[in-house]
Amino acid sequence: MTSIFDALPGQETPVGAIARNLARLWATDDGTGLKPGEDSKATQVNFVLHLGIHTTAEDALVQFQTAVRFSRRYPCRVVVLCPIRDDNAPGGELRAKIYGECHPGKTRGDLRCCEFVLLSYPTAARKFLENQVSICLSTDLPLYYWAHNFSSSAKLGAYQYLLGRAKRVLLDRSHVPEGECGELSWPHPEAVRDLVHARLLPVRQSIGQFLSAYPPAALVEGLVGVVVRHGAARRAEARVLADWAVARLVACGAPAGLAGDPAPDPASGADTVELSFTYGNEHRFRFSGDFARGCAQFSARIRGADTELATAIGLLSPEAALAEAMFF
């Protein structure tokens, strides 16, 4: 089976020669006469993509391409960490690759370049990883840390250097076992961001805009609870929408103990999510969205006014969700 490190693109290089060979990579003339200058490689942030040990080669390539697309818009030094099992690592040594690409900027003659350092390490060599990562990062720039597909909070908690230094720690709840996020003692809990929450930005905005037509007091008048039902592929999105809806309703004056647990709906499509408010009076609200079809339906009756609305919906692209989680 191909390791995630071997599946990713790049030129393998000795670990001790990463900086030197990166400089040579940009100095190479490929026949076009195109050699990026220092301004083309100006970076704004350090970005560490840490692939969990159970990440497949196919998934690793998908996440790598997401990081590449992100770096085209936000120039950054990217370090990709690829763990491997000790029994698959003869000698127990770190391996490295370097990768770079250039693309046109917004104006003619503008050239933007990104550079990646990929590090493969067995768990036995983890104690050397922090030093090597620190050498690979650009100095005096903020660090953003994306931990992808970690199977437990205990395994992620072993990387306190990255968790403690990062300005943002990015997780994707759809890849995290239920309950695991809350079990880790985060060095900076305020820095943790959920990529599912970020991807749902257009949906949250659409629901918020619809509900903004009603006074906050009317939304919580007679409110009993929040019900979220979801298809098989949208468990994480349902949980995030439930938590978000409860938090916003509490801000409108609903009781702090408002219920809002999501539940699967075997009868619905795999990519559907339904959010509804239950009331003890004639009020009602329901949002039903199908992400596969890209459409949604609103239905509400608040203080005697009936409203029906069909609208288009969608999730942010993976690279746009990264930016949303990092910077906003």
The pLDDT tens digits for 62-90 are 999 999 999 988 888 999 999 998 776 66
State which residues of the chain have pLDDT below 70: 1, 28-42, 88-91, 108-109, 177-184
Instruction: Give the H/E segment covering residue 24.
Output: helix 18-27
Cβ contacts of residue 93 below 8 Å, gap of 6+? Answer: 15, 125
What is the pLDDT at residue 245?
Answer: 98
What is the pLDDT at residue 93?
Answer: 86
What is the pLDDT at residue 186?
Answer: 83
In angstroms, what is the C-alpha Rg of the chain? 23
What is the pLDDT at residue 289?
Answer: 98
Distances (CA, A) of 13 to 50, 90, 325: 20, 17, 32
Answer yes or no: are the C-beta atoms of 92 and 79 closer than 8 Å: no
What is the pLDDT at residue 28?
Answer: 59
- Side-chain half-sphere CA neighbours of 68 within 13 A: 15
Distance in angstroms (rounded) separating the CA atoms of residues 204 and 195: 14
Distance in angstroms (rounded) separating the CA atoms of residues 313 and 288: 10
Backbone angles phi, psi at 286, to 5 degrees: -145, 135
